[in-house]
Chain A
Amino acid sequence: MLANLFGSTEQRLRIAAVSGCGVLAVLVGFVAFSPSGLESFIRQGGYHYIGAVFGLFVVYVWRVADARREVWRGWLRRPGRTGLCLIAASLFVLWSDGYKHKILFDEYVLQGTAFQLHAMKEYGAMFRAYEIAGSWVPIDSFMDKRPYFFAFLVSLLHDLAGYRLANIFIVNSALAVAFLPLVYWLSRTVVARGPALLAVGLMASLPLLGQNATGAGMELHNLVMIALTAALGVLYLRAPDNDRAAALVLAAVLLAQSRYESVIYVLPAALVLVLGWFRAGRLVLPWPAIIAPLLLVPYAWHNRVLSATPQLWQLQEGQTRRFSFEYLPGNLTGAWNFFFDVSGNLANSWYLSAFGLVGIFWAVYAGWRWARAHPRAELGSAPVVLLAFGAGAAGNLGVLMFYYWSRLDDVIASRFALPSCLLLAIVAAVFADRAGGRRQPALRWAAAGLVVWLLVGALPAMSRRLYTEKNVLMQEITWEHSVLESRPGPLLFLTNKSTIPFVLWRIPSLINSVGRQRGPQISYHLGQGTFREVIIAQGLRPTTEQGDMGIDPLDFMPPEFELETIGERRFGNRWARLSRLVRIKAPPVSTPPPAAAGTDGDLFKPAPIAEKTSTGPSP
C-alpha cells in the first residue's frame, strides 16, 4: 500500500513539498518573527489572506457541487416532506429568540471588525470615530483576538448590500437555515430518514441554537463550518479526488479561522485526508493541500499576538493564566449544571444531553463489541469521518474545561457547548436508529420524548428567555442608546462601558477614563460646535444595605465637570445614570482662558437645550 502511495516521483515530490511547507510554516509562524512585528502583518494582510482562502474554497466547493449537480438539483426540485421539516425546523429556530445582541461586547467587536474590513480592508475593530466633513471616519482601532472569517463574511454582505448593523443578523439567519440541512445530511449518512430528522429536531429544540441564530456572534458560523467540513470529509472519503481533498483542506483552514479553539478540527480533517489516500490507494494531494500548512500561519501569528497581549485575555481578578488545571473542577461542575439543568434558566436541552449521553454509552459499548469481533466489519466513510470529528468535538470540550472562562452554566459561556450538542444530537440519532426492536422502535419513543421535551422544557424556556433577557448590561446599553437618540445632537458620549457599540451607531464616544483627561479638548469642540452637548454615563452603587446610591469611584468625573442628571435607571442589579455636562469649570491653577471660550471663568457653558425627556409619564 505504501509503495502505491509513494511509488512515483511525482508523489514523492508532493510529499516533499507538503513537508517543506510544514517546516516553513513552523519557522514562519513560530520562529522567524517576534509578536510585536506580527500585528501589522495581520492587520494589513488579514483581509486579503482570508479573502483569498475563501475565494479558493468557493471555487473548489463549486467544482465538487458541479460534479454532483443532479443530486442537489433533485433535492431542490423535490424537497418533499423532509424539505418541509427542515424549513419548519429552521423557522422554529429563528422564531425561538428575539433578534438582538446577546453577548457583550464580543458581538459588537465582531461588528466593529466587520466595519473595518468593509470600509478599510484591514483587520481591526474601531473604538474611536468621528464624523468629519460628513463622513464617518474611524480614528482608532485595535487588533482583536477573535478569528476573523465570520467578520469577513459580514463585511462581504456590507460590500454587497451597504453597511448596516442588521447585516450580521441576516448572515446568522442564513447560517441557521444552512445548518439544519447539514445536520440532516450528516446524520442521514449513518442513519435512516426518521432518526436523521430526530437529530434535526433535537438541535432545533435546543434554546441555545435559537439564541445564537438570532444573535450577532460567530457561534453558529463555527457550527456550520464544523458540520460543513465534516460533510466535505464524508464526500472526500467516499470518492477521494483532488477537488474534494482541496475543498476539505480549505474548509479546515477556514474552520480554524472561525473560533479560537476550532483549530483542533484541523487534526481530524488531516486524518480523513490521509485515510482517503489509503481508500483510494494513491496519494491525493492537490496544491491547496500542499500549501495548507502555510495557510495556517496567520492563525499561528494571531495566536502569538494574543498570547503576548495579556490585556486581550480578559482575565478576572486573581487569575493569571488562560489555561490551567485549577479551572477544571469549576468548569466540570458548570458543564454538568448546563447539560442537565431543568430550571429553564439556561439555554440547554436536558433531553438532548440525556439522550446523547445514553447514545455515547451505547456507542462505546458498540465500539467495544466491534473491536472484539472477528472478522471486524469495515467501517464506512461516514462513520469514520463522524468518529474523527466527534473526537474533535470532545477534544474541543476538553480544552475548554481548562480555560479560565468556560463555565457553561454562565449564560455568556453556554455557547461554547454548541459543538458538543451537535455531537450529542448525531449520536442520539444513531442510538435511536439502532436500539430497540422491530415492534418497539426506539425512534418512536425518542420522538415522543422530543415532543414532551418541547412542551415541558423548550417552549416554556423560550417563552421566558431568561438566558437572553437577563443580560442587564445589554438593556443598559439599549437604554443609553435610546436616550442619546432622543436628544437633538450632535453629541459626544462618555461611556463607562465600551465605546464600540456607540461608534457603530455613529455616536462619537470616549470611555470615561479618557474623557476625564480630555477636558480642554472637549471644551474646545463644544465651543466650536462639533458637539452640541456631552452626555456622561456613570454607574451607581449602594453605600449601605439600605441602598443610598452613590457614584461608582471608577466613574467619577473631575470636580470641574459640572453635571446635571438627565436620567437614572435600574437594570436588575445594576444602576445607571446619564448626566449632561453643564459646564467645565476652569481648573484652579490654570491660566485664564480667552474670553471667547466662555464666561464666569468657565471653559465652556453649553447653551440650554429644549430636552426631549424619554422617561416618566407625560403630564
Chain B
Amino acid sequence: MQSDSPFSWFKKPRMFLAGLSVLLSVLLGFVLIPDQRAITFVSKAGFWLVLLTFVIFCASLWVSFRSDLQSRDWLRFDWVSLVVVGLGGTVLMVHETFGFKIVMDEIMLLGTSMSMHFDKTVLTPVRGNDIQGAFVILDGMMDKRPLFFPFLVSLLHDVSGYRPSNAFVLNGMLTFVFLGLVNYTGRLLAGRVAGWFGVALFAGLPLLAHNATGGGFELLNLVMILGTLLLGTRLLQRRDEAAMTAFCYSALLMAQVRYESVIYLMPVAAIFGWVCWREGRLILPWPVIVAPLLMVHYPLQHRIFDLRSSAWELGSKPGYTTPFSPDYLADNLSHALGFFFGRPTDQPNSLLLSALGTIAVPFFALTVFRWLRRLDQAKPIDVATTFFAFGFAAQFVLLMCYFWGKFDDPVIRRLSLPTHLGMVVAILAVLPQLAGVWVMRGLLVVAIVALLSLGVPSMAAHAYSQDYLPGRETAWRREFMADQTRRDYLMIDNDSILWIAHQVSATPVMQARRRTEALIFHMRNRTFSDVLVFQRYNIDPETGRLTLRKDDELGSDFVLEPVREERLQTLTLTRISRVKAIRTASGGSSQPPAAEPVVTKDRAEIERLRRAYLENFLKQLP
C-alpha cells in the first residue's frame, strides 16, 4: 500500500500547484487585500465563489454516486427507514410555529439571501424603498455570518420567487435530510435499529424542532457536519478522486455555515492525510487543488470582526473583555449542565438524550482510544468517527471558552446542537460494544416513549421560547405585516432590517429623529400610506406605569396614535403607533395643505415640477 515516501509527494507537480494555491489563498486572504477592499471583494465576489463551490460539490456528488444510483435495486430499498425518518421529521415540524426565532441572526441571514437573490451581492439591506413602482434595495451592510445558508435560501428565492418564508422551507427540507443522515450513520455504526434509535433520539429533542421551524443556519450546520463525516467514510472506502472531491468540497461548504464549524476542518485534514498515507499516493484532483482559492472570501469576511468591534457583541454582556478565555469554562459548564438536565418547561432539552449521552461519552472516549491504536484495521465509519470525535470535543471546548457560551441562554442553546450530534454519535458508537440487539430494541422503545411523554408535550407547549421576547415580538410584527392589505407604509423600528426583508420601507428610530424634516416632507406628500412606529414599554410591577424603552424614544415632536398593542410578557407592552403629525420648532407642518393647491394647466410645467419633485423625493428618502 505504502509505495512512496510522503516527502517525495512534494516533488510532484500537483502537490506543487496545491502548495501554490494554498500560498496564494493565504496571501489573498490574510495579507494582500486591505480591510475595506476585503469587504468590497466579499460583497461583489462572495456569491459567485460560493456558487462555484456548490456547483463543484454537486457535480462531484453526482460523479461519485452516479454508478451507485444506477445499480441500486429500488425494490430492495429500506422503505421502513424512510418512513421512520418521515415520521421523525413530521414530529419535529408540526408542534412548533414557523417563524424567525433568533433575532437578529435569522433576519440578517434573510437579508443577505435577499441581496444575493436580487443583486447577486453579499449585503444585508439596511435601506430599501419603492421608488419607481418596484421595491429596490438602496443600501446595505456586510454581515459577519458565513454565506452558505443565505446562498441556499437565495437559490430557493431564484426558483420560487422572493419570500421570507423560503428560509423555513429550506430548514424543513434540511430536517428530513438530517434525520436521514442520522439514520444512515446509526446503521453504519450499529445496524438498522440503531439508525431508527438515532432518529427517535433527535425527534424527541425540542431544541431541534425549535430550529427546524426557524430561519437560522443550525440545521444546515448539522447536515454539513454529518454529511462531511459520511463523505469521509466514503473516501476511506473508495479512496478515489471523485470521493476526495466530494469530501473536500463538503468540508469547504461546512466551514461556511457557522463560524465555529471551521474547527471540523481539522478532522477533515486528518482524514485527508490518513487516506493519502494509507494509499501511499496523493489523491489530489484538480478541484481540490483550487479549493483553497474558493475559500479566500472566508478570512476576508472575517475582517468584519477587526473593522467592527461590535461584531463580537461583547457589549451585550457587560463585564466581558475578551470573546474567548479559559476563565469562562467553569461557569459555562455549569450552564451547560443546567441546560442538559433542566426542566423541559424551561429548556428545550431531551433528558433521555442528555443522560444517555453523558453515560456514553466516557465509553466513547475509550472506544476512540481503542480504534486509534488499530486505526488501519478499523472500519471506515469508525475511522471517520474517530477523527470527528476530536472535532466534536474541540467545538464543545471552544464554546465553553466563549464569553457567551451559556447553553441555557435562549439565544445560545442552539449552539449545543453539534454537541447533541456528538452525543448521539457517541451513543451509537458504543452501543454495539455494550449491548445486544434486544437491548437496542428496548432502548428504541424507551426513546419512543420519551419522545411521546416528554418531547412532544414540551414541543407543543414550547414554554421554553416564551421568555425570549425579541422572538415573540418578531412573530407579532410579522402578523401585523400579514394583516396589512398594502405594503406602502413606512415603519420606524430599530429592527428595520426585519421590515426591509419583507419589502416594507423602514428606518431606525435614531434615523427618524435625525431626519425629521424628511419625514415631514413625505407625510405632507403622502409618500407612504402611513408612517408607523414600533415601540416597547416596560411596565412597573408596583405602579403599572409604562416606561418607554430608551432606544425607542421618538421625542415629543411626534404625535402618535396607538394602532395595535399587546402585552407579550407580563411586564412589557409592545405597541405599534401611527405618526399622526410631527411638530417642528420652525413651525413646519407634516399635514398636507388645508386648501388643495391648484395645478398649472401647462403640461410642460407640470412635467418640470414632477421631475424637480422626484429629485427632491430621492434626497429625502429615509
Residues of A within 8 A of B (CB): 98, 317, 455-456, 459-460, 463-466, 469-472, 475, 482, 541-553, 568-573, 575, 614-619
Q: In the bound complex, what is the Cα–Cα distance between A513 and B510 (angstroms)?
A: 48
A569 B488 Cβ-Cβ under 8 A: yes
* B246 shortest CB reach to chain A, Å: 21
B128-144 CB contacts (< 8 Å) to partner A: 130-134, 136
B117 touches A463 (CB 8 A): yes
Would B525 and A547 count as touching, CB distance under 8 A?
yes
User: Is there an interface contact between A570 and B563, defined as CB atoms closer than 8 Å?
Assistant: no
Give the CA-CA distance A463 to B503 in the complex, in Å.
Answer: 14
The interface residues of chain A lying within 8 Å CB-to-CB of B483 are 617-618
**Chain B residues, Cβ within 8 Å of A469:** 133-134
* Complex CA distance for A459 and B47, rounded to whole angstroms: 13
CB distance from B258 to the nearest CB of A (A): 26
Question: A456, A472, A553, A617: which contacts B599 (Cβ < 8 A)?
Answer: A553
A575 to chain B: which residues have CB within 8 Å? 526
CB<8 Å pairs between A and B, sample of 9: A460-B118, A460-B119, A460-B120, A543-B599, A551-B596, A552-B606, A553-B601, A617-B484, A617-B564
Given A550-B596, A572-B132, A617-B489, do A545 and B484 touch, yes or no (CB 8 Å)? Answer: no
For the complex, give the distance between the alpha carbons of A317 and B602 in Å.
Answer: 13
Other-chain residue from B136, B576, B606 in contact with A617 (beta carbon distance below 8 A): B576
Q: Mark B466-494, 1 if CB is under 8 A from A, else 0.
A: 00000000000000100111101100000
Contacting residues of chain B (110-136) with chain A, CB-CB under 8 angstroms: 117-120, 130-134, 136
Taking a contact as CB atoms under 8 Å apart, the answer to whether B133 and A571 are in contact is yes
Binds A, one of B333-341, B373-381, B548-556, B612-620: B612-620
Task: Provide the bound-state CA to CA distance between A475 and B486, in Å.
Answer: 12
Determine the chain A residues whose CB is within 8 A of the CB of B117 once the complex forms: 463
Contact of A572 among B131, B596, B598 (CB under 8 A): B131
Residue of B nearest to A575 (CB): B526
Whether A545 touches B486, Cβ cut-off 8 Å, given contacts A466-B134, A470-B134, A570-B526, is no
- A455→B136 CA distance, assembly (Å): 20
Closest Cβ of chain B to A223, distance in Å, is: 25
**A residues in contact with B528, CB < 8 Å:** 570
Residues of the A chain whose Cβ atoms lie less than 8 Å from the Cβ of B136: 464
Which residues of chain B are near A546, meaning CB under 8 Å?
Answer: 521, 524-525, 613, 616
Residues of A within 8 A of B527 (CB): 570
Instruction: Verify if B593 is at the interface (C-beta below 8 Å from A).
Output: yes
* With A455-B51, A547-B524, A551-B596 as contacts: A619 and B564 at CB distance below 8 Å: yes
Q: Is the CB of A541 within 8 A of B521?
A: no
Cβ of B541 < 8 Å from any Cβ of A? no
Asked if B436 is at the interface of the complex by the 8 Å CB criterion, the answer is no
Asked if A456 contacts B120 (CB within 8 A), the reply is: yes
User: Is A541 a contact partner of B526 (Cβ separation < 8 A)?
Assistant: no
Q: Is there contact, CB below 8 Å, between A547 and B613? A: yes
For residue B532, CB closer than 8 A to chain A, the reply is yes
Measured CA separation A553–B616 after assembly (Å): 23
Q: Are B120 and A543 in contact (CB under 8 A)?
A: no
> Distance (Å) between the CB of B580 and the closest chain A CB?
12
Chain A residues positioned under 8 Å from B130 (CB to CB): 572
* B461 close to chain A: CB less than 8 A: no
Contact B486 A470 (CB under 8 A): no
What's the minimum C-beta distance from B413 to chain A, rounded to whole angstroms? 34
Residues of A within 8 A of B530 (CB): 616-617
* Chain B 411-449 near chain A by CB (<8 Å), digits 1 or 0: 000000000000000000000000000000000000000
CA A471 to CA B133, docked complex, whole Å:
7
Interface size bucket, B side? 35 or more
A residues in contact with B614, CB < 8 Å: 573
B532 touches which of A472, A552, A617 (Cβ 8 Å): A617
- Given known A-B contacts A464-B134, A469-B134, A470-B134, A545 and B599 have beta carbons under 8 A apart: no
Q: Residue B34 at the A interface, CB < 8 A?
A: no
Given A466-B134, A471-B133, verify A542-B609 contact (CB < 8 Å).
Answer: yes
The answer to whether B600 touches A543, judged by C-beta atoms less than 8 angstroms apart, is: yes
Given A463-B118, A550-B598, A617-B576, A573 contacting B525 (CB threshold 8 A): no
How far in angstroms is the closest Cβ of chain A from B135? 8
What A residues does B603 contact at CB under 8 A?
317
- In the complex the two chains form, is B563's CB within 8 Å of A619's CB? yes
Q: Which A-B residue pairs are the 7 nearest by beta carbons?
A: A547-B525, A469-B134, A572-B133, A472-B133, A542-B613, A543-B597, A550-B597
Asked if B584 is at the interface (CB within 8 A of a chain A CB), the reply is: no
Write out the residue numbers on chain B whose beta carbons fall within 8 Å of the beta carbon of A550: 596-599
Q: Is the CB of B480 within 8 A of A617?
A: yes
Contact present for B132 and A472 (CB under 8 Å): yes
Are B489 and A616 interface neighbours, CB within 8 A? yes
Interface residue? B529 (CB, 8 A): yes
Q: Is A548 touching B593 in the complex (CB atoms < 8 A)?
A: yes
In angstroms, Cα B377 to Cα A175, docked, is: 64
10 extra A-B contacts, CB within 8 A, seeds A572-B132, A615-B486: A470-B134, A546-B616, A547-B613, A547-B617, A548-B592, A553-B600, A616-B486, A616-B530, A617-B576, A617-B578
Let me know if B157 is at the binding interface, CB within 8 A: yes
Cβ-neighbour of A545 out of B526, B578, B598, B616 (below 8 A): B616
Smallest distance from the beta carbon of B359 to chain A beta carbons, Å? 50
Alpha-carbon separation in the docked complex, A543 to B526 (Å): 14
- The answer to whether A548 touches B525 (Cβ under 8 A) is yes
- A543's partner among B134, B485, B609 (CB-CB below 8 A) is B609
**Are B158's CB and A459's CB within 8 A?**
yes
B238 part of interface (Cβ distance < 8 Å): no
B610 on the A face (CB < 8 A): yes
Q: In the complex, which residues of chain B have a beta carbon less than 8 angstroms from the beta carbon of A545? A: 609, 612-613, 616
Chain A residues in 8 Å Cβ range of B486: 569, 614-616
Is B392 in contact with chain A by the CB < 8 A criterion?
no
Nearest chain A CB to B47 CB, angstrom units: 10
Do B592 and A541 touch across chains, with their CB atoms under 8 A apart? no
Which residue, of A98, A466, A550, has the highest number of chain B Cβ atoms within 10 A? A550
Complex CA gap A549/B591 in Å reads 12
- Give B527's nearest chain A residue, CB to CB: A570
Shortest Cβ distance from A95 into chain B, in angstroms?
A: 8
B162 an interface residue at 8 Å Cβ cutoff? yes
Please, which residues of chain B bring their CB within 8 A of the CB of A614? 485-486
